[in-house]
Amino acid sequence: MLSLSAVEAAVDRVSAVARETPLEYSYPFSERTGAAVYLKLENFQRTGSFKIRGAINRIATLSAAEREAGVVTASAGNHAQGVALAATRAGVDSTIVMPKHAPISKVKATRRYGGRVVLHGVDYEEAQTRAHEIEAAEDRTYVHAFDDEAVMAGQGTIGLEILDQQPEVETVVVPIGGGGLIAGIATAIKTQRPDVRIIGVQAEGASSVVESLQKGEIHTRESVDTVADGIATRSVGERTFEVIQERVDEVVTVSDEEIALALTLLLERSKTLVEGAGAVALAALLEERFDYHDDEVIVPALCGGNIDMNVLTTVILRGLVQMGRYLKITTVLKDQPGALEGLIDIIAEQQANIYAIHHERTSREIGMSDTEVEIELETHGPQHAAELLTELRSNGYEVEVQQ
């Protein structure tokens, strides 16, 4: 099993390239939860993710012959960037296999860091299969995204930083995909401070660890479906699962809607941009997926900030819906002058802001003299939205809320 000494040995290698990221007290999230919340801002890391740590440590352990032959890996994006940068800095050729639908921003960044990108498959597992084919054909060294001791040890340096930055920490909350991050952090912390709780968090649509713990053996999902693409793996690693069973106190899940809410709140309240995987730890805290007491010192690890801008737009809208501040409604009006004015007057009286209005006259579900109107609105919160809907319906409008 991964040892503390392996993590400590990785410190000098990792610190030569990676940053020691800030651990900042969060007033808004402490007030919201009643805990003392400190955010570990690994989204400020080089390449925008913790993955650079494990990649640096693994590349540093290559033999001269392995350096000459080059490396290959598979990744949805963050590990890809870490390996590309670490390999380029070490003068090692790298080939990165990424799923065909990997975020464009991550693909471009991987190429900028010097990696040769091969797009293959619909998810991480299919990309990994292709990477192993390249490994065999070109005699390259495969750099696993998580199930590798050197990679886990590199990620574990985050745990050492947390203990140094906040010695009074009581609970650390960590995202889980394949398990490399939490295996490293749990090893760094639990072997020194067994009293500190380690809570793992997965997306509901990629909950392989939760299912594996329930079964007592590694379970592979048939598919994954989550906005948190950085942790969208069908299975946990063998080495990482061993550490999770031994050193992680609890593993919980959060929905995509809850991830979107946490991401949006981070952006609005903390001025901090994270990707879906980077928001899951905070989401679990906000949704009280695990028990904690008032003033408990809790550190959610914000593991990455590499989110595609098109995805960000969608996620923010979903977050605003969860906050009750975005409302999309449809109703049917007579297609005649002045019909829309009465509806807008009520919306204005209720002090809701109109983002957009769309007319649909071709639907077979409405009369020939009618028009279906869809309106996107900004509201102040759930109560305001409910009051607006009540007022519209009391004035005779048949209003449907679009999810």
The full set of domain ranges for the chain reads 4-50+148-320, 52-142, 324-401
- Per residue in 250-296, pLDDT (tens digit) is 999 999 999 999 999 999 999 999 999 999 999 999 999 999 999 99
CA-angle at 218, arms to 43 and 141, nearest 5°: 60
Enter the tokens of residue 338: 């002045």
The candidate with the shortest Cα–Cα distance to 211, out of 163, 152, 251, 269, is 251
- The pTM of the full predicted model, rounded to 2 decimals, is 0.89
Do 52-142 and 324-401 agree at the fold level? no
Separation of alpha carbons 202 and 382, rounded Å: 27
Architecture, CATH, for domain 52-142: 3-Layer(aba) Sandwich (3.40)
Q: What pLDDT does 77 receive?
A: 85
Query: Could you give the residue ranges of the DSSP H alpha helices within 16-76?
Result: 27-33, 51-60, 64-69
Say which DSSP state 303 is in. Answer: -
Banded model confidence at residue 105, pLDDT cuts 50, 70, 90: confident
Q: What percent of the chain has pLDDT over 90?
A: 87
**Most confidently predicted of 243-252, 353-362, 364-373:** 243-252
The candidate with the shortest Cα–Cα distance to 251, out of 243, 261, 259, is 243
The hierarchical CATH code for the domain 4-50+148-320 is 3.40.50.1100
Contact 261, 286 (CB under 8 A): yes
Architecture, CATH, for domain 324-401: 2-Layer Sandwich (3.30)
